[in-house]
A and B are shown apart, each in its own frame.
Chain A
Amino acid sequence: MAYHNQHQPYTSQTNYNHAPTGNLAGQQVNDPFQPPQRGTPPSNQNEFRESRHGDDRQQVLNPQLNGEHAQGHVFPGQKAAQHPHQNLPPREHFGNPHDNFKIMSQPPMPGPPSVSAVQRSMGGGMPLHGSNQTRIDSGDHSSSVRGVLQASSLAGQPPLQKSFTPPPSSSPARHSPASNMQGQNALSSRSTPPSMIQPSATRTQGAFKPVSFVGGAGMPPPPLLGQQQTLRGSSTPSTGLGYGPPLPGQVASASPTPVQNSAITNPLFQGEQFKPPSSQFCTQPDPAMQQYPPPNSLQSPHQHPTSVQPPPFPEQVYPPSSGPASAMGQQMTAVPPPLSRPTYVPQPRPQLSQPSGAGLPLPPMPGQPYTPSSSVQGITHSGVGVAPPPLPGQPYQPQAVVRPPPMSNVASSMNATPPSSSAVPQSAAYAPVLNQPSSVANRQPTPGPYPGAMSNITNSMANMDMSEANRPINLMQETRALPFRKPVEQPLRFETNTNQGTLIPPDRKNCNPDVLRCTLKTMPHSQSLLNKVKLPLGLVIHPFKDLSSLPVISAGTIVRCKRCRTYINPFVSFLDERRWRCNMCFAVNEAPEEFLHHPVNKTYGQPHTRPECTNSTIEFIAPQEYMLRPPQPAVYLFLMDVSHSAIESGYLQIVCDSLLDHLDSLPGDARTQIGFLTYNGTVHFYRLSEGLPQPQMIIVSDIDDVFLPTPENLLVNLRESRDLVEDLLQQLPLIHNLNYEGEGDTYSSLGAALEVAKKLMTATGGRVTVFQQSIPNAGPGSVKPREDPNKRAGETPTALLNPATDFYKKMALDCSAHQIAVDFFFFNSLYIDIATLSCSSRFSAGDLHYYPSLHVKHNPMEAERLSHDLQRYLTRKIGFESVMRIRCTKGIGVHTFHGNFFVRSTDLLSLANVNPDSGYAVNLTIEDPLQDMSSACFQAALLYTTSKGERRIRVHTMCLPVVKSPAEVLNSVDCIAVVALLSKMGVDRSVTASVADARDALLNAVIDPLKAYKDTLPQGMTTGGVYVPRCLRLMPLYMQCVLKHPAFRMGVSTKLDDRVFSMVNLKMQPASYLLQGVHPDLYRVDDLHDEGAITVFEKEVPQPNILPLSAESILQTGAFLLDCGWRMYLLVGRQTSRSFINNVLGAPQFSNIEEPMYSIPELKNPQSEMFHTFVDWLQGSRPHYAPIRVIRDDMREKILFFSHLFQDRTESAMSYQEFIMHVQKQLN
């Protein structure tokens, strides 16, 4: 089938392949873990030696890349990635592929019922925009939010609750035991006739009365809507929702089909061995409620890193391999699922809109070991307070780990908890295991990088009940997926395992997730398991991120594993004082004598307390072995396009001004060199030798064979020729002036200029910055316009995404060999062929910036952005002649790289320059099953020369637990990393196949893991809804936004250059920047208030909620700020309160707001100050500047704003709700 074949080459599918692992491993000709060149002491210098002579060596080292070289010019990563595919069986595909398109071409879906009711509930605010569909959604959304508000405010006081977990003051509802019941309540709802689920028929039972009451009474006003929600929430089998868009009548009147029916209709589940009793099933409580606290009840003060430290996450507990806990787990595995469990389960009425809090133990998954611990909980929580008797026929194992109440210091308490089964189950000391994560998760609006349940997972397999953090979320019900605040991620800490000996690094904390993150927070133990979960496995790295604190070590010898050259890190284990075991290759190494001395507290014989062993991000000052040549000086060369249109745009003035302002802050020392070249049809050199009265301009007109007119003084020492440089920068905009004779030159000989720049810099290496405005059309490397402007909305031919000439790639490879990086600033208004030009940055590890249609007068927003970006660009840190190597635990292989670099050998990236804004990603495969390993480690080491001529090594280490079941993997996924990696893989796919293919692949990448997840859930739960693990809750939303990103969107007129640059940007951005661009944040800013504000630098920063990216969030009466990462838009509604317009915008009334307005006046009133603190805080959260543009609601430019509302439907793309329905259709 042609479709299948199309899917095959998609790089993301590498991990998904159903091929046996051995097959994959066999193809990896070069085992990256063989240390052939690194074994012997003299080859200490290898890392750097390779960096100088990589070109010839690369062919030897990497057979995969060899092929690439033979073929010419393909992106290195892609080739390597494709390789494994060629011999693999076709990927199993499920779902009719044609369905994918059906829904796209469908007419707008009929809205769900009660449109009018919904609109009433909007509380006066009419949606500005939108079809039926969006209005409906808004109704859903607002009503459920209201439900939350009411429900939680009521649920704060249930009498029952006081007898349970001491509720944290921040969010009482969260810790209510109700949710524990809730799932079980819902279980019984399955067999309940539909009429009983109607809100009006809600009954309560016993102790649960308050909760049920809340659910009933707290329903939002429109009764119809409430009804509908209830039905959905009660996990009505998919009669209504499963078959496409629900018709109004259908949903309301749908009778829940018995479970058996759905089981039959779903062939996937017929072979299911384990069918838990239906009464054990839980339905989904309204997730919005448990997930998102009402703003009033939970204004977490832990949102910003500078504020109070958030409670640390529960630490990971690694069981001793032969310890009692794991033994228990094994014992449990053999025990059949206890059917008698319902005995202990109280049976309250199903209530869906309950404000739920603490975790509900879901029934055990098929094939999962079952632990009675949840039964214990059930008892405890229902107030019985007695330990339950052992289940019949089952050796009773009390839940071993006793957890103190959640309010205490979680980390310390978990540390103190011995993982032994000797502890007595104390019903008094509850908030037991399963409750623990929920309390943590509740305090943070979204689970952190390591959900609390993780500790259970590794602690004992027996705990695999779904706790709160693991509970699936039904996206069909979830009206608001987005958290109100951005979660603050904390690195995971590891519990010290005393079994390994006494010399364990005391603080085993992973490095900052912003620096190094893995798509899966638990490592599947084999490739087959990875194929089963169908998630991409990879690392997203931001290695040179600006860090606030970075320990720097100046050691005589850097302690590394003698076999695999891994740097010593917190996750190694010490056998005794001198010997340590490498955590990558498990070789035992001898530590040098000096390693026994602690440099800070001067103790002896405690090597595990040294900084190397306590910090997972650390920087070493490299000794001589790491330098092949003396460290190079900082060399900056600026190439400026001075063709006619470039001069006309006026960028030269901005660039020269910025350079003049920041000459002092250019990173460098006394050796810093600087040079300038300009070019149009000819190349202009500027001689800046000391002693000249003024700069000399030398024009070389032979651009086909360009040469250096003078051997020296084109690159000069900045300090010594400072006056001349300043003089030149002042004169440049004057020299290149349209009024001047001969400046009407419309040619641009970029290729010649780059060649000559390379010649200038070969001796040293450094950074070439190119400012390019017009298409290079003269001399070597000239390109022709390829774009057909009439076909912008349609399918982009793949050829246009690929370079037209290999001139720039060859140039880049040459540059990379000489440690020269080429950075680009594009200012074009016409087609410039970024696809071709960007090659020169891609392979030389450069940086790209794009200011579409920049013009000083006509497009001041981009001009402002340029000047601010230049400030950042010129002053940020820079690393020269660097290489990065990624090491993984034995058995894990690196196979595809994303980013701008040159791949020199299987795991070595050559980066001529490295800057703090460049991100990288790699795809991983599990080549050998990780047998008998409790954890897998990754280490990214970056060797670079600072601008001060120091050679340094920055090392980041991360350690993840290894798990064996799909459910565990799926319940701890790093959504951000997955989205980042998938979009990078999508770009690769677009370039090799087509954009349409990439879209299909991305869509499948959403569906496949959800399908895999569905298989892990008990069968009855999965009907009628899109169930996702909590950690993947946002993935469909983000992926939906990715599909609407300029890189992948279809049907919207997208300039080819915009599309290509978006792709390039996706490839090279670190995850946090990428996500901000993919999914901008929307805030309402006309009613900022102090409530929940955080304090940053003694300023109160208001924290408005993040709104869904939908027109329904936009009101005529408000002002909305859209933060797109690199730009911000402020939309002012027609009926925005006068005070905002007066106090913040400084205009008397709406119609007087300036147009266009690019800056917001700083006025002396509290409202304006508050607004500015907020915007400044947003600006401060990123290293670059995002200019703000004010858009009046009656302006044409508001399309700029509305085009970012990615949750809405466009002519050619689905809305979020449609997307979810589409996903659901594919799942069934």
Chain B
Amino acid sequence: MVLMTMIARVGDGLPLAASMQEDEQTGRSLTDYQNQAKLLFRKLNNQSPDRCTIESGKMLFHYFIDKGICYLILSEPSFSKKLAFAYLEELSSEFFVQYGNRVSSVTRPYAFIEFDTYIQKTKKSYMDSRTKRNLTLVSSELQDVQRIMVSNIDDVLQRGVALSDLDDKASNLASISKKYKQDAHYLNLRSSYAKIAAVVILLVIFIIYIRYWWL
């Protein structure tokens, strides 16, 4: 079952179209998944694999990148992978026909939200896995679906995070060592001051002693 469909520009992750979610009927909040999807769009770039399945909790994201546009759905694990990618491809061909030449020029998010109507219709036809068309789709080996990479959402989203983590740690280390140096210097100074002070006090006592008792 497809829960969410989003289309975004790969370059900057700008969402172009989406289909409204039916929160009430499925009874679960998709907000988290939606935020994950938005993060995912930002992470994707032209070097990303153009077909990928990403696990996120109990759900699966499937995405398909074509001509700089990323098509992404959220589905239940039971939903056939083949159907999912067939659905994505159908979306991509229709979307590119309708809006392909304008994709690079838009600045406003959800500029092609009207595509929602088409998404909803297509989704409906793919929902029902018993229709003849879908049965044939499932049986035929349209593409090498098995080879599609499966990864975890955390891995994808955390990619790059580790590097910056390391960077953070390194700079942290640098600053801490600097601080250590300063502290050590300060301590040194203090101890030498203490020594000098002790000597001076001794001297003064000595002088006083000489002044009043010896003479």
Which single member of B18, B24, B25, B117 contacts A630 (CB below 8 Å)?
Answer: B18
Interface range for B: 20 to 34
| B22 at the binding interface (Cβ < 8 Å) | yes
Complex CA distance for A810 and B28, rounded to whole angstroms: 22
Instruction: Tell me the complex Cα distance, A621–B17, Å.
Output: 16
In the bound assembly, the distance between CA atoms of A669 and B117 in angstroms comes to: 11
If the complex has contacts A763-B20, A763-B22, are A671 and B113 also in contact, measured as CB distance less than 8 A? yes
| CB-CB under 8 A for A628 and B117, given A554-B108, A949-B110 | no
The reply to whether the CB of A632 lies closer than 8 angstroms to some CB of chain B is yes
A500 to B105, CA, bound (A): 40
Residue A1196, interface by CB 8 Å: no
| Cβ contacts under 8 Å, B114 to chain A | 669-671, 949
Q: Does B129 contact A (CB under 8 A)?
A: no
Query: Contacts A556-B107, A624-B14, A624-B15: A630 and B23 contacting too (C-beta < 8 A)?
Result: no
With contacts A671-B116, A763-B23 taken as known, whether A627 is within 8 angstroms of B107 at the C-beta atoms is no
Judge whether B21 is part of the interface by a CB distance below 8 angstroms.
Answer: yes
**Are A629 and B109 also in contact (CB < 8 A) when A624-B14, A670-B117, A671-B116 are?**
no
> Residues of B contacting A628 with CB < 8 Å?
31, 34
Query: Which residues in A have their C-beta under 8 angstroms from that of B21?
Result: 629, 763
Q: Which residues of A contact B25 (CB under 8 A)?
A: 711, 763
Given contacts A624-B15, A949-B110, A950-B108, contact A762 B117 (CB under 8 A): no
Q: Can you name the residue of chain B whose Cβ is closest to the Cβ of A45?
A: B35
Collect the chain A residues with CB atoms within 8 Å of residue B22's CB.
763
A623 to B25, CA, bound (A): 29
A633 lies within 8 A of B20 (CB): yes
Chain B residues with CB below 8 A from A762, complex form: 23-24
In chain A, what residue has the closest Cβ to B17? A630
Q: Mark A608-635, 1 if CB is under 8 A from B, else 0.
A: 0000000000000101100111111100
A950–B25 CA distance with the chains assembled, in angstroms:
26
Q: Are A717 and B117 in contact (CB under 8 A)?
A: yes
Interface string of A949-967 (1 = CB under 8 A from B): 1110000000000000000
Q: How far is the CA of A950 from the CA of B117 in the complex (A)?
A: 16
Q: Which residue of A lies closest to B23 (CB)?
A: A763
Q: Which of A624-661 contact B (CB under 8 A)?
A: 624, 627-633
Q: How far is the CB of B115 from chain A (nearest CB, A)?
A: 9
Which chain B residues border A629 with CB–CB below 8 Å? 18, 20-21, 31, 34
Is A554's CB under 8 angstroms from B107's CB?
yes
Asked if residues A627 and B109 are in contact (CB atoms below 8 Å), the reply is yes
Within A328-381, the residues touching B (CB, 8 Å) are none
A1124-1166: CB near B (< 8 Å → 1, else 0) gives 0000000000000000000000000000000000000000000
Q: Interface readout for A708-724 with B: 1 if CB under 8 Å, 0 if not?
A: 00010000010010000
B15, B17, B23, B108 pick with most chain A CB within 10 angstroms: B108
What are the residues of chain A within 8 A of B24 when measuring CB–CB? 759, 762-763
Q: Residues of A contacting B117 with CB < 8 Å?
A: 670-671, 717, 720
CA distance A52 to B108 in the complex (A): 22
**A631 contact from B6, B31, B38, B110, Cβ within 8 A:** B110
Closest to B118 in A: A670
Q: Are A633 and B116 in contact (CB under 8 A)?
A: yes
A622, closest chain B residue (CB): B109
Q: In the bound complex, do residue A627 and residue B110 qualify as a contact, i.e. CB atoms below 8 Å apart?
A: yes
| Chain B residues within 8 Å of A949, by CB | 110, 113-114
Q: How many residues of A contact B (CB 8 A)?
A: 26
- A624-B15, A762-B23, A763-B24 known; A630 vs B107 contact (CB < 8 Å): no
- Give chain B residues whose Cβ lies under 8 Å from the Cβ of A763: 20-25
Distance between Cα atoms of A982 and B179 in the complex (Å): 64
Known: A630-B18, A671-B116, A717-B117. A624 touches B23 (CB 8 A): no
Q: Is the CB of A630 within 8 A of B108?
A: no
Residue of B nearest to A670 (CB): B114
A632 vs B114: C-alpha distance when bound (angstroms): 10
Q: Which of B6, B21, B114 has the most CB of A within 10 A?
A: B114
Q: How far is the CA of A1100 from the CA of B25 in the complex (A)?
A: 60
A671-B114, A671-B117, A763-B25 known; A623-B109 Cβ under 8 A: yes
Select A951's contact among B23, B34, B109, beta carbons within 8 Å: B109
CB neighbours of A759 from chain B (8 A): 24
| Assembled-state Cα–Cα distance A633/B116 (Å) | 9
Interface string of B102-140 (1 = CB under 8 A from A): 000001111001101100000000000000000000000
Q: Are A621 and B110 in contact (CB under 8 A)?
A: no
Is the CB of A764 closer than 8 A to any CB of chain B? yes
Residues of A within 8 A of B109 (CB): 623-624, 627, 951
> With A556-B107, A624-B109, A670-B114 known to touch, is A630 a contact of B31 (CB < 8 Å)?
no
B116 contact set on A, CB distance < 8 A: 630, 633, 671
How far, in whole Å, are A671 and B112 apart by their CA atoms in the complex? 11
Residues of chain B lying within 8 A (CB to CB) of residue A950: 108
Q: How far is the CA of A319 from the CA of B142 in the complex (A)?
A: 77
B126 to chain A, nearest CB (A): 16
Given contacts A762-B24, A763-B23, A763-B25, contact A631 B113 (CB under 8 A): yes
Chain B residue at minimal CB-CB distance from A625 = B109
In the bound complex, CA of A627 to CA of B109 (Å): 9
User: Which B residues are in CB contact (< 8 Å) with A764?
Assistant: 20
Considering only CB atoms, which chain A residue lies closest to B41 in the complex?
Answer: A624
How far does the alpha carbon of A621 sit from the alpha carbon of B14 in the complex, in Å? 14
Chain B 1-28: CB-based contact to A (< 8 A → 1; otherwise 0):
0000010000000110111111111000
Nearest Cβ distance between residue B179 and chain A, in whole angstroms? 27
In Å, the complex CA distance between A956 and B31 comes to 31
Question: Could you tell me which residues of chain A, from 30 to 63, have a CB within 8 Å of some CB in chain B?
Answer: 52
Q: Are B14 and A630 in contact (CB under 8 A)?
A: no
Q: Quick one: CB contact mask for A743-777 with B, threshold 8 Å, 1 for yes? A: 00000000000000001001110000000000000
- List the A residue with the shortest CB-CB distance to B5: A630
User: Cα distance A763–B4 when bound, in Å?
Assistant: 13
Which of A554, A628, A671 has the most chain B CB within a 10 Å cutoff? A671
Interfacial chain B residues near A669, Cβ < 8 Å: 113-114
What CA separation (Å) do A3 and B65 show in the bound complex?
75
A566-588 vs B, Cβ < 8 Å mask (1 yes, 0 no): 00000000000000000000000
In the bound complex, what is the Cα–Cα distance between A671 and B23 (angstroms)?
19
| B18 proximity list for chain A (CB < 8 A) | 629-630
Q: Quick one: which of A518-557 are within 8 Å of B by CB? A: 554, 556
Q: What is the distance, in angstroms, from A522's C-beta to the closest C-beta of chain B?
A: 41
CA–CA, A412 to B117, complex, Å? 56
In the assembled complex, the CB of A943 is this many whole angstroms from the nearest CB of chain B, namely 14
> When chains A and B are docked, how far (Å) is the Cα of A483 from the Cα of B106?
52
- Which one of A630, A671, A717 lies within 8 Å of B15 (CB-CB)? A630
- Establish whether residues B20 and A632, one from each chain, have CB atoms under 8 Å apart when the complex forms: yes
The digit string for A183-222, where 1 denotes a CB below 8 A from any CB of B, is 0000000000000000000000000000000000000000
| B residues less than 8 Å from A623 (CB atoms) | 109
* Bound Cα distance from A634 to B18, whole angstroms: 15
Point out the residue from A52, A630, A720 that lies within 8 Å of B110, measured CB to CB: A630
B108–A621 CB distance below 8 A: yes
- Per the 8 Å Cβ criterion, residues 75-116 of B in contact with A are 107-110, 113-114, 116
B107 nearest in chain A by CB position: A554
Scan residues 253-282 of chain A and give those whose CB is less than 8 A from a CB of chain B: none
Listed from nearest, the 10 A-B pairs whose CB atoms lie closest are A630-B18, A949-B113, A624-B109, A670-B114, A762-B24, A763-B22, A630-B110, A669-B114, A631-B110, A671-B116
A interface with B by C-beta (< 8 Å): 52, 554, 556, 621, 623-624, 627-633, 669-671, 711, 717, 720, 759, 762-764, 949-951
19 contacts between A and B (CB under 8 A): A621-B108, A623-B109, A624-B15, A627-B109, A628-B31, A629-B18, A629-B20, A630-B15, A631-B113, A632-B20, A633-B20, A633-B116, A669-B114, A671-B114, A717-B117, A763-B22, A763-B24, A763-B25, A951-B109
Q: 4 additional contacts, CB 8 Å, given A632-B20, A949-B110? A: A629-B20, A630-B18, A720-B117, A949-B114
Binding site for A on B (CB under 8 A): 6, 14-15, 17-25, 31, 34, 38, 107-110, 113-114, 116-117
